[in-house]
């Protein structure tokens, strides 16, 4: 397997940044859909009597006429109106820990685990580490992935395969990479694939309001016996991702998007499935344990997260270049 092939295959794994969440719900990580209670039901519970049709049913401020005149001069508090798609995503936010918790805990991310990667000669396996620092917008985040992967052994050459160390990072302006301690210039398709996680990852859906992105309801779909709602995210730049959200737990189960990696070729379709068994909760936030990527209908990679540390302080230099112990 060529060095260029290794570099391309390894870079694709970073599309699965777990960046990710459940503290406001029970320890099992399962969020039940809140049940709405109608006004009539509430009145019945309180023993209230119906208001005559001819009466003004608007609430009146206490304190008589003076208070009423004072209230007239005050502006009513703005009411937030959600579309159906926005309401679904807001429920998903609660399932992952809530917007405030995510913003605080996920300011810095470090996740460690293992990776299995498909190659032309068979599956490669090794260790996986991703570090990220959140910025104002998702596509501005700093991110770095470190891998140490052993490629499959050639036929008849047992014991000849050697681990390959690969690093790829986005420093806020450009993508750089290194292989076995030597800097290499990433090809255009490698850079595109790596940066895709900044706008297509499932955590991006949870930041749709901060990013100024739009969400639309595509429709319901039953996947492997699970009822889901499909929500499509569109970023301000026009990049689109579909997310399958459980109608019961509001966890994100799948995501799907396309990338134009090669000129004059049809887009490459990526589908990522997130698995939450066993559930892992780090610092009151839920993290999917396994993430499996399918590329144009074929297995591409599987990542298993073993440990995660959030709100950890990262040296800004890790996003700029290799450290001395990695040269």
Most confident of 2-11, 29-38, 62-71, 171-180: 171-180
pLDDT of 256 > 90? The answer is yes
* 3 state DSSP class of 198: helix
* Per-residue pLDDT at 153: 77
Residue with the bigger pLDDT between 8 and 171: it is 171
Domain-embedded: residue 62: no
The total number of residues written for the chain in this structure: 327
pLDDT of 241 > 80? The answer is yes
The band of 67, judged by pLDDT with boundaries at 50, 70 and 90, is: very low
The band of 287, judged by pLDDT with boundaries at 50, 70 and 90, is: confident
Give all strands (DSSP E) within the chain, no chain letters.
108-119, 122-133, 142-150, 164-170, 175-179, 182-184, 214-223, 226-234, 240-246, 252-259, 268-275, 280-282, 285-287, 290-295, 298-310
* Per-residue pLDDT at 46: 40
Mean pLDDT of 285-302: 93
Domain-embedded: residue 31: no
Average model confidence (pLDDT) for the chain? 79
pLDDT of 60 > 80? The answer is no
* Per-residue pLDDT at 278: 78
Judge contact between 276 and 270, C-beta under 8 A. Answer: no
Question: What is the tally of structural domains in the chain?
Answer: 1
**Integer angstrom CA distances of residue 224 from 242, 244, 321:** 17, 12, 44
The band of 30, judged by pLDDT with boundaries at 50, 70 and 90, is: very low
pLDDT of 23 > 60? The answer is no
Domain-embedded: residue 74: no
What sign does the CA torsion over 34, 38, 44, 46 have? positive
Tens digits of residue pLDDT in 138-155: 999 999 999 999 988 777
DSSP secondary structure code for residue 266 in this structure: P
Domain-embedded: residue 188: yes
* Per-residue pLDDT at 195: 93
Three-state secondary structure along 47-83?
CCCCCCCCCCCCCCCCCHHHHHHHHHCCCCCCCCCCC
Domain-embedded: residue 309: yes
- For residue 271, what is the domain's CATH number? 2.50.20.10
Judge contact between 59 and 71, C-beta under 8 A. Answer: no
Phi-psi region of 137 (alpha: psi -120 to 50; beta: other; left: phi over 0): beta
Domain-embedded: residue 63: no
Percent of the chain past pLDDT 70, that is, above it, reads 73
Residue with the bigger pLDDT between 60 and 244: it is 244
Mean pLDDT of 263-279: 91
pLDDT of 48 > 70? The answer is no
pLDDT of 49 > 50? The answer is no
Print burial letters for 205-239: b (CB count within 10 Å at least 16), e (below 16).
bbbbeebebebebeeeeeeeeeebbbbbbebeeeb
* Per-residue pLDDT at 282: 87
pLDDT of 96 > 80? The answer is yes
Scanning the chain, the segments in alpha helix (DSSP H) are 3-12, 39-46, 64-72, 84-95, 99-105, 188-195, 197-200, 202-205, 208-211
Mean pLDDT of 301-317: 90
pLDDT of 58 > 50? The answer is no
* Per-residue pLDDT at 283: 87
Mean pLDDT of 51-75: 45
CB-facing half-sphere around the CA of 327: CA atoms within 13 A: 3
Domain-embedded: residue 46: no
pLDDT of 52 > 70? The answer is no
The band of 79, judged by pLDDT with boundaries at 50, 70 and 90, is: confident
Residue with the bigger pLDDT between 54 and 274: it is 274
Give the domain extent around 98.
3-25+84-326
How many Cβ atoms are within 10 Å of 67's Cβ, its own excluded? 12
* Per-residue pLDDT at 289: 87
* 3 state DSSP class of 143: strand
Whose CA is closest to 144, among 321, 22, 289, 271? 321
Q: Which residues contact 267 (CB under 8 A, 6 or more apart)?
A: 258, 259, 260, 261
Judge contact between 284 and 23, C-beta under 8 A. Answer: yes
Q: Which of 15-24, 140-149, 179-188 has the lowest mean pLDDT?
A: 15-24
Domain-embedded: residue 50: no
Residue 101 token pair: 């918790």
């Amino acid at each position: 397997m060529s060095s260029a092939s290794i570099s391309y295959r390894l870079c694709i794994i970073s599309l699965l940044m777990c960046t990710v969440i459940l503290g406001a719900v029970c320890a099992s990580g399962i969020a039940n859909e809140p049940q709405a209670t109608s006004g009539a039901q509430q009145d019945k519970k309180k023993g209230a009597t119906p208001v005559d049709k001819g009466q003004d049913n608007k609430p009146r401020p206490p304190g008589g006429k003076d208070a009423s005149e004072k209230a007239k001069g005050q502006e009513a508090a703005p009411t937030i109106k959600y579309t159906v798609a926005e309401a679904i995503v807001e429920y998903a936010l609660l399932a992952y820990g809530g917007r405030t918790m995510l913003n605080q805990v996920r300011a810095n991310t470090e996740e460690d685990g293992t990776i299995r990667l498909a190659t032309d000669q068979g599956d490669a396996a090794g260790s996986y580490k991703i570090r990220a620092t959140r910025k104002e917008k998702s596509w501005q985040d700093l991110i770095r992935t470190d891998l140490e992967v052993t490629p499959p052994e050639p036929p008849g050459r047992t014991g000849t395969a050697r681990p390959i160390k690969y690093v790829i990072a986005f420093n806020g302006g450009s993508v750089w990479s290194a292989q076995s301690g030597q800097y290499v210039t990433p090809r255009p398709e490698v850079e595109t694939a790596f940066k895709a996680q900044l706008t297509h990852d499932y955590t991006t859906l949870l930041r749709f309001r901060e990013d100024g992105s739009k969400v639309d309801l595509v429709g319901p779909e039953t996947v492997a016996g699970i009822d889901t709602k499909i929500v499509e995210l569109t970023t301000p730049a026009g990049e689109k991702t579909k997310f399958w959200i459980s109608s019961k737990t509001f966890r994100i189960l799948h995501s799907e998007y396309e990338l134009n990696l090669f000129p004059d070729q049809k887009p490459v379709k990526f589908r990522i499935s997130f698995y939450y068994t066993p559930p892992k909760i780090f610092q009151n936030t839920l993290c999917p344990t396994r993430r499996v990527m399918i590329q144009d209908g074929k297995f591409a990679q599987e990542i298993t997260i073993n440990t995660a540390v959030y709100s950890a302080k990262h040296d800004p230099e890790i996003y700029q270049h290799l450290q001395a112990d990695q040269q």
